[in-house]
Structure 1
Amino acid sequence: MNHLLIAPILIPLLGGIIQVFIGYAPISLRRTLALATTVLLLASTFALLVLANDGSYRVYAFGNWAPPFGIVLVLDRLAALMLVMTAILAFFSHLYAIHRTDESSRQFHALFLFQLMGLNIAFLTGDLFNLFVAFEVLLIASYGLLMQGPGTKRTVPSLHYVVLNLTGSALFLISVGMIYSVTGTLNMADLAAKVPQVSAENLPLLQAGGLMLLVVFGLKAAILPLCFWLPRAYGNATAPVAALFAVMTKVGFYAIVRVFTLIFGSGAGALANLGLDWLFAFALATLTMGVIGALGARNLRTLIAWQVIISVGTLLAAVGLGTEEGTSAALFYMLNTTWIVGGLFLVVDLIAAQRGSAVDRIVTAPRMHNRTLLSVLFLIGAVAAIGLPPLSGFFAKLLILQSTTPGAEMAWLWSVLIGGSFFTLIAYSRAGSIVFWRTVDGHVSSTDRLSLPVTVAAGGLVSMAIVIVLLAGPISAYVDATAAQLFNTSEYLNVLNLPVIAEGL
């Protein structure tokens, strides 16, 4: 077996354990080891991306128990893309944290690394039950990360986050039990083979289990009406935590794409394309709700939090089309929105530190320090988030619009997406003009200076809008190949026949 497949899980696990045991060590040592762990994780994910790019499936069977009986990890193009996207986001977020906010808790770095471990398990697992386990690992770490920082303002939003996700976990477990009772398996490849063969009398139970899964993944992705917990939770989190959490909703998106393309996709017989009609409608409603929230935002953190919900609606609307073109466009857009939203959370934190008592509120205040640099970073991030040319967001949304075919879906998607972009432009223009240009006389009480590491961290994520444009050709080719691999489910079924000693298919 190719042992590199367990590196994205093993590296943060060992790094987190080390951080637990050196909690009282000098902070410089803890920071060095934590960042080194994230860098090593980033290198391993790029190595896996190179491996996955040949189009083969690679399987790691723990204990040499062949699927569907053992615990397996499966690497394909989609899993590799998610791993790299998360690792890049985590590196810049961690770099920002070690120079600004990690002093609030001795276990910050341990929680951060355990969060990464849970995310990577979710992207690599080939089993529904282990996807549930991954959700629990990353959620437990996220509970601790949300409470980082001084003050009690995070308590109520964090409590809402915990209660909703515990409810989602209970529903996940129930739905998994329902599916297992009918099929006798939870291995995704085995489920894809057995779902079309389920008898008519068992179809209602399997359908109910599948729709419950869609609700659970929709909660993780923050789709309407399960999204109202997100703005306050993300808006009150510390900047590096909020930046890392930009990928949390993408876990729900990933689960929907993986499960409802492979198991309940076009080859699922009577349950083919389960929930797609509902998904498309609720996605457009989510996008609309996100735009309304952005227009009403009173501070910059809340504005960016509503941008997360806008991105969720956009992603799931493209996936709801049920086509390769829509899924490919959604994956391209996913890279843009994850990195840009993460970068904007960091930029907004820098802005708040320069405005004294006004912090990130969208109100007039004395002129801040470093206004030129911060305004440029905010402008780049806003342009990419809105989808204006010439940055990556424009090309991402253009691909989504081009993925539709003439008809009612095209009319709805075009009108909501273009209209939403226009009103989002108004929201960002209003916020930027007030914060950066409508200044009043006086002096800012804060003398917090920008350090090189935090500037590089925030600027690095925001500049991904330019990097994506420069690499648009290779990225577009990769996501096209990823979508084609996703929809060719017969190839994934070969995972069941792959000898555990083999390197790939």
Structure 2
Amino acid sequence: MSQHLLIAPLVLPLCAAVLLLWRRGGAPIIKRSLGIGATLALVVIGIALVHMAGDGVIRYYALGDWQPPFGIVLVLDRLSAMMVLLTAVLALGAILYASAGQDEDGTNFQGLFQLQLLGINGAFLTGDLFNLFVFFEVLLIASYALLMHGGGRSRTGAGMHYVALNLAGSSLFLFALGILYGALGTLNMADMARQIGAGLDAHQRGLVHAGGLLLLSVFAHKSAMLPLHFWLPRAYAAAPAPVAALFAIMTKIGLYAILRVYSLIFADHAGPLAGLAQPWLWWCGLATLAVAGVGVLSARDLRLQTSYLILISVGTLLCAFGMGHIESITAALYYIVHTTLVTGGLFLLADMIASQRGRAGARAVRSRPLVQPGRLGALYFIGMIAVIGLPPLSGAIGKALVLSSAGEEQALWLWPILLLAGLCGIISASRAGSTIFWRAGEGDPEGPRMGWRRGLGITGLIAASPVLTVLAGPMSDYAAATAHQLSDPDHYLQAILGNPTTASEAADVSHAGGESS
């Protein structure tokens, strides 16, 4: 049964989504129980996958028993297992918060939420580029409806902008796939890496170079890399809080795709095409950091503030990827877990604060006092310390790892820009926090209390930072092992494409879940 665990992150949300959409008129408590139960089960599956991948073995699941490179394969390594678990933990916090009432603001929220999890998990586990495109489309279709859940003028306008840009990105994705398939005759990532490593003629190399750069532009849009970042602040700030929290993983899908594709297909074995993305990631990452720092400094709304803090994290991760060595990738993998969970929690917290402030909402202006100022203020204080990167929480550890991984020449650029972006975050958080919690106006506190569902969702995600601080040693070790695994594409190719030499090995590979050490 263990070999079938690889497909469980897809089958579970798919079955849950079918049941929820089929019985969409059912009682809210039944839908909520099914949605929360399926997401909690996904957390358990994610933990099992991380444990399974911890032995360093790269496993694959061949659907329909069509062996690679001809069939559809799901691939499990340390990176994909970590991202599936990260998605499940984030989704659990978001769905707990939504189940306090926001899921009933529109139709089909619970079912669409599970469909988006299906697309996200598929993107992390797939072993070929065409199915990466398919899973991108699955998660995007669900996200279109979730973004406009509950309606409203600003939400509809941001949603239309989001849909139009993503449709353009999907078209470019198809063009890139067409170019690469025409040049190589395959879209299986391992097979593409093998063919490029074996050598290409000048015509093929030109097409692959063009396809690789076009693919990079698609992933840059998905990850909100400058200058393709303009859609993110408006869309995330307008989205319902649980949707915005889940969207914290969306930019990481683009970053994951960059790391996976360009560390495997365009690695050192690619000859003239090696390191195709590195210069673009480094310089655009620095530019993203600088613009995001200005953006967070100008933000006058908690949701917009968190959106720009996500952009700061995107810039930081792009710079780490752009440095392109094991230490910087290790730092990025630790940082990606921290920033995804904490920013997701801050979106939920901003919504809770807005609901208790009346007409002022999440804007950093004076308003009536909060119903729970102490609890909300403590959560905001911890969350902002963590996401900005101040000691002693996980953000400081992640930022220190990234800064220490920079070489002498890279440090001249990275240190001042990253530290100045952090200073902008401190100023923004101090201004908003003092206005909302210390300078409250007159009036009686009104509005809904946090409640156990909302409280568990917010606290669970923000508390991830202290947990990651305590577990910094094991987390760094896992991240380092993952970075070493990514730096050895031959291991990946042997696991997916390696030919068995004995009858017993042939029998092992013939079943749907193959594995190679």
TM over 0.5: yes
> What range is the shorter-chain TM-score in?
over 0.9
Q: Which residue of 1 aligns with 2:223?
A: 221
SS in 2 for 1:2: helix
SS in 2 for 1:191: helix
Shift, 1:151, TM fit? 2.1
Equivalent pair of 2:184/2:204 in contact (CA under 8 Å): no
Equivalent pair of 1:60/1:500 in contact (CA under 8 Å): no
SS in 1 for 2:408: coil
Q: Which amino acid aligns with 1:225?
A: P
Work out the CA distance in 2 between the residues paired with 1:351 and 1:170. 39
Q: Which residue of 2 aligns with 1:435?
A: 436
Alignment CA distance shift 1:79-1:239 (3 Å): same
Q: Which amino acid aligns with 1:460?
A: G
Show the 5 A alignment for 1:32-431.
32-196=33-197, 197-407=199-409, 409-431=410-432
Work out the CA distance in 2 between the residues paired with 1:349 and 1:298. 15
Equivalent pair of 1:182/1:198 in contact (CA under 8 Å): no
- TM-superposition CA deviations, 1:137-186 (whole Å, max 9, x none): 00000001001124222111111111111111110111011011111111
Equivalent pair of 2:181/2:187 in contact (CA under 8 Å): yes
Work out the CA distance in 2 between the residues paired with 1:3 and 1:297. 47
Shift, 1:457, TM fit? 0.8
SS in 2 for 1:331: helix
Equivalent pair of 2:100/2:453 in contact (CA under 8 Å): yes
Equivalent pair of 1:224/1:286 in contact (CA under 8 Å): yes
Equivalent pair of 2:278/2:322 in contact (CA under 8 Å): yes
Q: Which amino acid aligns with 2:215?
A: L
Shift, 1:275, TM fit? 2.3
Equivalent pair of 1:108/1:145 in contact (CA under 8 Å): yes
Shift, 1:463, TM fit? 0.4
SS in 1 for 2:154: coil
Work out the CA distance in 2 between the residues paired with 1:425 and 1:153. 28
SS in 2 for 1:362: coil
Shift, 1:45, TM fit? 1.0
Shift, 1:450, TM fit? 1.8
Q: Which residue of 2 aligns with 1:12?
A: 13
- TM-superposition CA deviations, 1:277-304 (whole Å, max 9, x none): 1211011111111111111112111100
Equivalent pair of 2:58/2:75 in contact (CA under 8 Å): yes
Shift, 1:203, TM fit? 1.3
SS in 2 for 1:475: helix
Equivalent pair of 1:57/1:75 in contact (CA under 8 Å): yes
Shift, 1:238, TM fit? 0.6
Work out the CA distance in 1 between the residues paired with 2:220 and 2:234. 18
Q: Which amino acid aligns with 1:80?
A: A
SS in 2 for 1:73: strand
Equivalent pair of 1:301/1:360 in contact (CA under 8 Å): yes
Equivalent pair of 2:57/2:515 in contact (CA under 8 Å): no
Work out the CA distance in 1 between the residues paired with 2:516 and 2:15. 27
Work out the CA distance in 2 between the residues paired with 1:202 and 1:370. 63
Q: Which amino acid aligns with 1:424?
A: G
- TM-superposition CA deviations, 1:44-74 (whole Å, max 9, x none): 1111110000000101001111100000000
Equivalent pair of 2:219/2:257 in contact (CA under 8 Å): yes
SS in 2 for 1:320: helix
Q: Which residue of 1 aligns with 2:505?
A: none
User: Runs of 5+ in structure 2 lacking a partner?
Assistant: 500-508
Work out the CA distance in 1 between the residues paired with 2:376 and 2:361. 14
Shift, 1:442, TM fit? 2.2
SS in 1 for 2:461: helix
Work out the CA distance in 2 between the residues paired with 1:21 and 1:202. 48
Work out the CA distance in 2 between the residues paired with 1:316 and 1:236. 25
Work out the CA distance in 2 between the residues paired with 1:24 and 1:201. 57
SS in 2 for 1:74: strand
Equivalent pair of 2:357/2:447 in contact (CA under 8 Å): no
How large is the Cα RMSD of the aligned pairs?
1.1
Q: Which amino acid aligns with 1:114?
A: L
Shift, 1:106, TM fit? 3.1
Show the 5 A alignment for 1:487-502.
487-494=487-494, 495-497=496-498, 499-501=509-511, 502=514
Work out the CA distance in 2 between the residues paired with 1:149 and 1:341. 22
Work out the CA distance in 2 between the residues paired with 1:503 and 1:221. 31
Q: Which amino acid aligns with 2:327?
A: E
Work out the CA distance in 2 between the residues paired with 1:83 and 1:2. 16
SS in 2 for 1:126: coil
Work out the CA distance in 2 between the residues paired with 1:349 and 1:186. 42
Work out the CA distance in 1 between the residues paired with 2:317 and 2:115. 27
Equivalent pair of 2:293/2:420 in contact (CA under 8 Å): no
Q: Which amino acid aligns with 1:90?
A: A
Q: Which residue of 2 aligns with 1:449?
A: 449
TM-score by length of 2: 0.96
Shift, 1:447, TM fit? 2.8
Work out the CA distance in 1 between the residues paired with 2:491 and 2:326. 16
SS in 2 for 1:365: coil
Equivalent pair of 1:11/1:37 in contact (CA under 8 Å): yes
Equivalent pair of 1:367/1:440 in contact (CA under 8 Å): yes
Shift, 1:504, TM fit? 4.0
Work out the CA distance in 1 between the residues paired with 2:491 and 2:287. 35
Equivalent pair of 1:59/1:500 in contact (CA under 8 Å): no
Q: Which amino acid aligns with 1:232?
A: R
Equivalent pair of 1:222/1:249 in contact (CA under 8 Å): yes
